[in-house]
């Protein structure tokens, strides 16, 4: 585990006795006794580096199904349950013996030898089981401490704990000329709040995602990845050198020191200036290489490939995700177009939040789009030799209630399923994960885990673990309190 005092960049070192003694004298800079005790407790946790799958992945592609599909109707059919539980869909066999999916996923069923379905994940979000707090937990690996009593979202801020993609950007950044964290498809939205759990928060703006939320069925605007008219690479380089010189002189004057004493400029820069410098470095690296801008050129794909993914916002965003992975992007998030709590509506881009009309919405609208696009993504990655080193995760913030039409905490209409965070499912593939299998089991109603229960934080720990990032790393928050990358949890080594 990394110490908060360590500046060497190592990911697995432990504090020495001398360091722990030093920590005891840090109360004047924010590490009070409770925080010291918390640090010592965190340091006692064993490293996960020795578990199976550590560093097996080079990249992660997270497919986030905001609004949350019904786990029973897609991933975890219950044919022997009463009619008010099992619903209208029948289970179908897949390419993996013993693995059955709902009949609305026939194309994914053909790819089942390449992925695992986990059926025993569950969480108790803060307050009522609404979308906001569950989204924040899934996107950051931390309990929300600034949400309303009903679990509704609040606007993102720089005091937030960082998103999973931002942590990846910091601790396993992409190579120069490539992108570390890209978010495509749509912003994460809950009610009127945009960007829940998506930003870098206290890690700084340099680790925020590069956002491309335009409709990927249309040509994408790439002005930010191209040099302005009349400015060539050499001219931009000279501008950057001039800016660097001005910044250094300004810092020197602001320090109040004479020209005879020249302190290290890095000591004088504010966090804001450091973010700004990091932006410049990233921008310069991307502008020097056309690899990133070419990744967004979906017109370079064949019409047959684009049709295989489906000419929908979600389908073309999945194709864009594959192109970004191919271009060396470390973490890509593809988000379903409709916000978490939109009223379900016909068409390819409607919501998964099926409080009513669950079955016609899934059968006729949501699942045909999702099944085509995700199956194409998995198949395409495998055919290109990218799946072995790319971890793909498809998940919503929770599942849907087992009993049809029964209200738990929200308004449920005829044929609908309510929010259900207690037990749900996700798909995981590639990056060293075993294919053709099922992990965990829910009870006969799909209501609670029956075996191998896991928490969303275990999944996030597994993502970090697969990328070679120890989830036990400790860093200081804005109040100088020691924080783990994930509040708690361990990698699920059985998936590898």
- Indicate the domain borders of the chain: 59-220+296-464
Say what the pLDDT of residue 279 is. 55
Contact 458, 489 (CB under 8 A): yes
Cβ(308)–Cβ(376) below 8 Å: yes
Output the pLDDT for position 129.
85
> 352-367 pLDDT, tens per residue?
999 999 999 999 999 9
pLDDT at position 247 is 56
Whether the per-residue pLDDT at 172 is higher than 90: the answer is: yes
pLDDT of residue 252: 55
Q: Residue 466's pLDDT band (boundaries 50, 70, 90)?
A: very high
Which among 56, 67, 60, 71 is positioned nearest to 426, based on CA atoms?
71
pLDDT in tens, 38-64: 555 555 566 788 999 999 999 999 999
What pLDDT is recorded for position 8?
Answer: 34
Per-residue confidence at 411, pLDDT binned at 50, 70, 90? confident
Rounded Cα distance, 3 and 482, in Å: 9
Statement: the pTM of the whole predicted model exceeds 0.85 = no
Give the largest CA-CA distance in the chain.
84
Q: Residue 304 and residue 262: Cα distance in Å, rounded?
A: 61
Read off the pLDDT band of 230 (50, 70, 90).
Answer: low
Give residue 254's pLDDT: 56
Query: 257: Cβ–Cβ under 8 A, 6 or more apart, which residues?
Result: 263
Q: Are 404 and 417 in contact (CB under 8 A)?
A: yes
> Quick one: pLDDT at residue 14?
37
Cα torsion 391, 386, 182, 366: sign: negative
Instruction: Indicate the pairing of strand 115-121 with strand 424-429.
Output: antiparallel
pLDDT above 70: residue 2: no
Put residue 201 in one of left, alpha, beta given phi > 0 → left and psi -120 to 50 → alpha: left
The β-bridge relationship of strands 399-400 and 419-420 is antiparallel
80-94, 259-273, 314-328, 382-396, range with the lowest pLDDT: 259-273
Cα(396)–Cα(361) distance, integer angstroms: 17
Looking at CATH, the fold of the domain delimited by 59-220+296-464 is given as Alkaline Phosphatase, subunit A (3.40.720)
Question: What are 58-114's pLDDT values in tens digits?
Answer: 999 999 999 999 999 999 999 999 999 999 999 999 999 999 999 999 999 999 999
Lowest mean pLDDT segment, chosen from 120-129, 242-251, 351-360, 474-483: 242-251
pLDDT score, position 274: 58
pLDDT at 374: 99
What is the band of 147 on the pLDDT scale with cuts at 50, 70, 90?
Answer: confident
Mean pLDDT is lowest, of 217-226, 275-284, 469-478, for 275-284
């Amino acid at each position: 585990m990394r110490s908060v005092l360590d500046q060497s960049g190592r990911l697995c070192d432990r504090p020495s006795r001398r360091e722990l003694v030093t920590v005891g004298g840090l109360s004047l800079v924010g590490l009070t006794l409770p925080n010291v005790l918390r640090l010592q407790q965190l340091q006692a946790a064993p490293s996960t580096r020795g578990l199976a799958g550590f560093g097996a992945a080079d990249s992660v592609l997270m497919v986030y199904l905001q609004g949350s599909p019904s786990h029973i109707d897609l991933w975890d059919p219950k044919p022997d349950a009463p009619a008010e539980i099992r619903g209208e869909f029948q289970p179908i066999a897949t390419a993996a013996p013993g693995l059955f999916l709902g009949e609305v996923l026939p194309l994914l069923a053909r790819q089942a030898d390449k992925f695992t379905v986990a059926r025993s994940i569950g969480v108790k979000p803060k307050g009522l089981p609404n979308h906001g707090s569950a989204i924040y937990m899934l996107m950051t690996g931390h309990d929300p401490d600034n949400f309303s009593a009903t679990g509704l979202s609040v606007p993102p801020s720089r005091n937030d704990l960082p998103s999973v993609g931002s942590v990846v950007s910091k601790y396993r950044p992409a190579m120069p000329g490539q992108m570390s964290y890209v978010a495509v498809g749509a912003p994460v939205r809950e009610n009127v709040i945009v960007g829940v759990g998506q930003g870098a928060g206290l890690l700084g703006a340099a680790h925020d995602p590069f956002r491309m939320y335009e409709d990927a069925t249309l040509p994408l605007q790439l002005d930010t990845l191209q040099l302005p008219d009349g400015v060539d690479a050499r001219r931009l380089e000279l501008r950057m050198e001039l800016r660097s010189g001005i910044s250094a002189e300004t810092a020197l004057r602001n320090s109040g020191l004479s020209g005879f004493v020249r302190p290290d400029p890095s000591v004088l820069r504010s966090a804001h200036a450091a973010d700004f410098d990091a932006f410049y470095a990233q921008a310069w690296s991307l502008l020097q290489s056309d690899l990133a801008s070419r990744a967004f050129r979906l017109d370079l794909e064949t019409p047959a490939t684009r049709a295989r993914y489906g000419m929908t916002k979600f389908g073309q965003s999945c194709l864009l995700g594959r192109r970004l992975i191919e271009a060396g992007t470390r973490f890509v998030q593809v988000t379903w177009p409709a916000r978490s709590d939109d009223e379900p509506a016909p068409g390819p881009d409607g919501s998964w939040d099926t409080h009513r009309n669950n079955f016609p919405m899934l059968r006729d609208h949501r699942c045909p789009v999702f099944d085509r696009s995700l199956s194409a993504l998995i198949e395409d990655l495998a055919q290109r030799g990218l799946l072995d080193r790319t971890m793909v995760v498809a998940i919503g913030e929770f599942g849907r209630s087992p009993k049809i039409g029964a209200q738990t905490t929200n308004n449920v209409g005829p044929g609908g399923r309510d929010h259900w965070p207690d037990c749900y499912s996700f798909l995981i593939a590639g990056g060293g994960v075993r294919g053709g299998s099922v992990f965990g089991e829910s009870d006969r109603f799909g209501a609670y885990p029956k075996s191998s229960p896991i928490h969303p934080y275990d999944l996030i720990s597994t993502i970090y673990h697969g990328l070679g990032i120890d989830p036990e790393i400790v860093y200081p928050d804005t109040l100088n309190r020691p924080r783990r990358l994930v509040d708690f949890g361990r990698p699920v080594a059985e998936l590898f």
